[in-house]
Chain A
Amino acid sequence: MASGSHHSSVPEWARTPTGQPVDPAAASCTILSCGATSHAAGWSRELTELGIEHRIIALRPRDAAEVQRIMTAELRRAVVGWRLMLTGPLAEVLHARALALQAGLLDAEIIVGTTEVDRIPVSCAHCATTTLTRLPSSTRPRARAIRLVTCAGCAESLVVQDHLSPLRGGFLGVTHAPESRLEPAGEPR
């Protein structure tokens, strides 16, 4: 069955490395590239052909503070009509996208291109810490249900759900045995 026919919080680009097309209606764009030079160049060529003003910013991988700083600056100077174009590995793309959504950018204003989707962020439902883990995409839909990830924050054993939280920028991880682990009998609340 085509993946689009089911309601799912997991977009196609989070399941397989995919680039969304440029938006020909965009007034201007910023491409944030995390090691995805060729993908960024492809988008840039298309934007140039369409006559859409744009610039490319290269991000250093796993430098969250730098991403935050660049994103804040870009959002501050942006006007309606601008598009944020994110390309790189899924984990970096989701992190930057979460920052943009938190700042009020709409999903329609963010264009995504993933170059790798095996390393996925898992957001703990209990302590909100994000833990990076490796789940090869080929086996993922089945593997997610049985694969356990230890939360880097609270050390809970998490089952990775097929649900992507846009604002947290990760897949939802829920403790393996919620009742017995989180609410010890007799403990005052």
Chain B
Amino acid sequence: MSAFPLEVTDVVDAAPEVRTLTLARPDRRWLPSFTPGSHLVLECGPTVNAYSLHGESQLPDAYTISVLRTGSGQGGSRWLHARRPGDRIIARAPRSLFPPMQKASRHLLIAAGIGVTPILSHLRAAARWGHPVEVRYLHRPGRGVHLEQLRELAAGSLHRFSDRVEFRAALQQSLQRQPLGTHLYCCGPEGFMDAVREMAAHRGWPLERIHTERFGADVLEAGEAFDVALSVSQRRITVPPGRSLLEELEGQGIAVPNLCRQGFCGECRIEVTAGVPMHRDHYLQDQERAANDSLMSCVSRAASGALEVPL
């Protein structure tokens, strides 16, 4: 995946501890369009983080992200908060793991805290296409992010909450009266998303209508080194931390069909004849995962010890 430099063109405080950065190409050419709900992977000094894009998605001349400052010391969010206009940041092309469903007749958009960023992106798209939406946003008092844009885009269908109990009660009601083609999108802390998913499932929502964004949890840890026995070519290779099995196989001159290299297209699936994979993809179904007889070589690794593959 090719990386490219972006220049910080604007920095604005969007809420306490939240900073909105506008990023453009140094030569100001258009940036790649992206699917609403996509995120951008940025090299933030010592770490690599993903941030939801919430600006214009069609032929954008800039990308905008909003960053909540978390933790202390060397974190990526602190590094980003220290950027100033004119600074350069290395980015990788936007990735879509939280897209709007094309067949949805209505979108129920649910956010907590800084999780509002991909929801804003969805809302922008829905407003553009005239799709019916309902927005439910839970945030701490005085800490709402991008409220003005939400109000502008959602108007009467925006419901804000600063009280969890109130939010839950109102959501219960809402979940019971959504017309059939509705899809639910949720972004926020893990516990919040789990609670929303559970409430919806309890009201009979099939999982296929519930979509969550894991805050860029897919930016994977480098992982530990593991060995792979190649039973056909009778070789044994070691995959070091930070490198994928796919990259290592390519380095050995073994071609593996591949496309997205992000664990969701399924192209680089390879058979596993021994050992237990640590699945980190978005492609395999639960049953296929449990079978442990294949893995996505672009992202998945060994759970422990070594793997054997018929290559």
Chain A's closest residue to B103 (CB) is A104
Q: Does B201 contact A (CB under 8 A)?
A: yes
Q: Are A27 and B180 in contact (CB under 8 A)?
A: no
Q: Is the CB of B105 within 8 A of A27?
A: no
CB distance from B283 to the nearest CB of A (A): 15
Q: Do A81 and B105 touch (CB < 8 A)?
A: no
Note all chain A residues with C-beta closer than 8 A to B105. Answer: 104
Contact, CB under 8 Å: A106 / B209: yes
A65 / chain B contacts, CB cutoff of 8 Å: none
- Bound form: Cα–Cα A27–B180 in Å: 12
| B178 / chain A contacts, CB cutoff of 8 Å | 79-80
The smallest beta-carbon distance between B281 and chain A, in angstroms, is 19
Give the Cβ gap from A92 to chain B, nearest Cβ, in Å: 22
Decide yes or no whether A162 CB sits under 8 A from chain B. no
A108 at the interface (CB under 8 A from B): yes
- Taking a contact as CB atoms closer than 8 A, the residue among B179, B204, B208, B209 that contacts A23 in the complex is B204
A79-B179 contact, Cβ under 8 Å, with A104-B103, A104-B105:
yes
Instruction: Tell me, yes or no, whether B244 is within 8 Å of chain A by CB.
Output: no
Question: Which B178-207 residues sit within 8 Å CB-CB of chain A?
Answer: 178-182, 201-207
Say whether B175 faces chain A, with CB atoms less than 8 Å apart.
yes
Q: Which interface class (under 10, 10 to 19, 20 to 34, 35 or more) fits B? A: 10 to 19
Q: B140-181: which residues lie under 8 A (CB-CB) from chain A?
A: 175-181
Given A27-B176, A105-B180, A106-B209, A80 and B103 contact (CB-CB distance below 8 Å): no
The residues of B that contact A28 with a CB separation of less than 8 Å are: 204
Q: A59-99 CB contact bits vs B (8 Å, 1 = yes)?
A: 00000000000000001001111110000000000000000
Pairwise interchain contact A108-B206, C-beta atoms closer than 8 A: yes
Chain B residues with CB below 8 A from A80, complex form: 175, 178-180, 182, 203-205, 209
Q: Is the CB of A81 within 8 A of B208?
A: no
Residues of chain B contacted by A148 (CB below 8 angstroms): none
Per the bound structure, the CA–CA distance linking A82 and B207 in Å amounts to 13
Instruction: Considering the complex, give the chain B residue whose CB is closest to the CB of A25.
Output: B204
- The smallest C-beta distance from A25 to any residue of chain B, in angstroms, reads 5
Check B202–A25 contact: CB distance below 8 A. yes
B209 touching A82, Cβ below 8 Å: no
Q: Do B177 and A106 touch (CB < 8 A)?
A: no
Q: Least Cβ distance of A67 to chain B in Å?
A: 18
For residue B182, which residues in chain A have a CB less than 8 angstroms away from its CB?
80
B209 near A27 with CB under 8 A, answer no
Q: Which residues of B contact A135 (CB under 8 A)?
A: none
In the bound complex, residues from chain A placing their C-beta under 8 Å from that of B181 are: 104
CB-CB under 8 A from A104, the residues of chain B are 103, 105, 180-181
What's the nearest-Cβ distance from chain B to residue A75, in Å? 6
Interface residues of A (CB under 8 A from B): 23, 25-28, 75, 78-83, 103-106, 108-109
Measured CB to CB, the residues of B under 8 A from A are 103, 105, 175-182, 201-209
By Cβ-Cβ distance, the 6 closest A-B pairs, closest first, are A81-B204, A27-B204, A108-B206, A104-B181, A78-B180, A80-B178
Q: Could you list 17 A-B pairs, sorted by A, with CB under 8 Å?
A: A25-B202, A26-B204, A27-B176, A78-B179, A79-B177, A79-B180, A80-B204, A81-B203, A81-B204, A81-B205, A82-B180, A83-B204, A104-B105, A104-B180, A105-B180, A108-B206, A109-B206
10 new A-B contacts, CB < 8 A, other than A28-B204, A80-B179, are: A25-B202, A25-B204, A79-B177, A80-B204, A80-B205, A81-B204, A82-B204, A104-B181, A105-B180, A109-B206
